[in-house]
Structure 1
Amino acid sequence: MRAVVVNCTLKGAPEPSNTDALAEVVAGDLRARGVEVQTFRAVDENIAPGVATDMGEGDGWPRIHDALMASEILIVATPTWVGRPSSLAQRVIERMDAMLSETDDNGRPVAYNRVAGVVVTGNEDGAHHVISEIAGALGDIGYTVPGQAWTYWHLGPGAGPNYLDTEQGREWSHKTGRAMASNLYAVAEALSARPVPAPPE
């Protein structure tokens, strides 16, 4: 089984990313279950704006799209900015819109029988709003979003330290992240055994 993590931090590599650190908790649990995990930092991938799978020369999205097509699990990870997903998370969702018109050999939308979850970090509240926006979009595209397929970390209202700067709240976020990984894996296995059929005509 394969998984892809798309980290929508605004920080380019090799700058440490709070979002990457929490997403790695989920990825680590998936690896422990034998899942091969590939991570992309969207900010480093030159993802062009648009709603097509390939926007032409220099577009970095087709490489990520290929990885999505080769995987059963997707994790979209984003910081919270002004109570919303990052601009890069929105761009990723916009590019995934093209998947609505792509079908497999059995006539199913290509996101069918794949599962997805969400990781959110930020030293402000709004994580549940961000999770619902991204999970809703992924469901629209055709992914199956299991129950409790998310984890987040935040300090609540007001400014403060980031995830990497404090141990506060980490135990809960990590426990929830491990549950997320377990649920994603279990539902991916179930869909492999009993796939969702193509939509009726």
Structure 2
Amino acid sequence: MLTALALNCTLNASPTGSSTQKLIDEVFAAFKEHDVVGETIRVVDHDVRPGVQPDMGAGDDWPELRRRILDADILLLASPTWVGHMSSVAQRVLERLDAEISETDDEGRPLMFGKVAVAAVVGNEDGAHKIAADLFQALNDTGFTVPAQGSVYWNGEAMSGTDYKDLDETPEPVAATTATLAANAAHLARLLNEHQYPA
């Protein structure tokens, strides 16, 4: 059984509704079809301190989030779109993950080698392609592997005010992309579990 961890980078603290969470839930439903189970962490509910070290000292909640990332086979990083960019919470996660470039296993590989990363982006404005590109570059730099078609997004009509969580049903293109993301991520994670990158 593979495991996935979703980091919901919404700006809204629990229990406020979240379009980002709705898309995460749909990805997890698709993961279930491929024997992938997991959990979601709403990052803004935790005190993730600014910095680029694995542990920024007393009160920093990142070490626990980091442990759960290390325990998972697949990381789903999910962000809303704000002024055409990922949320500040997602940017904070990438800054904290930057520390992983110099954290290695006993054979000298970065600790995130062998882990798969996928992305989900929602917003009622444009920007999803740029956000996915920025997320994937940073995640790949820190050692994650990105599967083919490893992102899913929904952009509402500009200035419409409609949120993803308010839709009556999932648009077919989003559902199809979500299914592909889940299948490819699970396939890649199994391959990497069986054949880790060389030291």
**Distance in 1 of aligned mates of 2:168 and 2:123:** 14
**Distance in 1 of aligned mates of 2:164 and 2:144:** 28
- Residue aligning to 2:128: 127
Instruction: Decide whether the 8 Å contact of 2:79 with 2:121 is kept in 1.
Output: yes
By how many angstroms is 1:34 displaced? Answer: 2.2
Say whether 1:30 aligns with 2:31.
yes
**Distance in 2 of aligned mates of 1:172 and 1:189:** 26
**Distance in 1 of aligned mates of 2:119 and 2:25:** 12
By how many angstroms is 1:103 displaced? Answer: 0.7
User: Which letter does structure 2 place at the counterpart of 1:25?
Assistant: E
What per-residue deviation string (whole Å, max 9, x for no partner) do you get for residues 143-162 of structure 1?
00111001001114324210
By how many angstroms is 1:121 displaced? Answer: 0.3
Q: Counterparts in 2 of 1:15-164, with a 5 A limit?
A: 15-164=16-165
By how many angstroms is 1:168 displaced? Answer: 7.1
Structure 1 gaps, min length 5:
none
**Distance in 2 of aligned mates of 1:41 and 1:23:** 11
Q: Percent identity?
A: 41
User: Which letter does structure 1 place at the counterpart of 2:54?
Assistant: T
User: Which letter does structure 2 place at the counterpart of 1:101?
Assistant: S
Cα RMSD for the two superposed structures = 1.3
Farther-moved stretch of structure 1 (122-131 vs 28-37): 28-37
TM-score (normalizing by structure 1): 0.94
Instruction: Decide whether the 8 Å contact of 2:81 with 2:87 is kept in 1.
Output: yes
**Distance in 1 of aligned mates of 2:120 and 2:46:** 19
**Distance in 2 of aligned mates of 1:41 and 1:5:** 8
**Distance in 2 of aligned mates of 1:31 and 1:57:** 37
**Distance in 1 of aligned mates of 2:160 and 2:93:** 27
**Distance in 2 of aligned mates of 1:88 and 1:123:** 18
By how many angstroms is 1:17 displaced? Answer: 0.4
3-state SS of 2:47 partner: coil
By how many angstroms is 1:169 displaced? Answer: 6.2
- Residue aligning to 2:192: 191
3-state SS of 1:185 partner: helix
What per-residue deviation string (whole Å, max 9, x for no partner) do you get for residues 94-148 of structure 1?
0001111111122110111111010000000111011101011101111001110
Farther-moved stretch of structure 1 (69-78 vs 156-165): 156-165
What per-residue deviation string (whole Å, max 9, x for no partner) do you get for residues 51-82 of structure 1?
01111111111111001111110000000000
Instruction: Decide whether the 8 Å contact of 2:34 with 2:182 is kept in 1.
Output: no
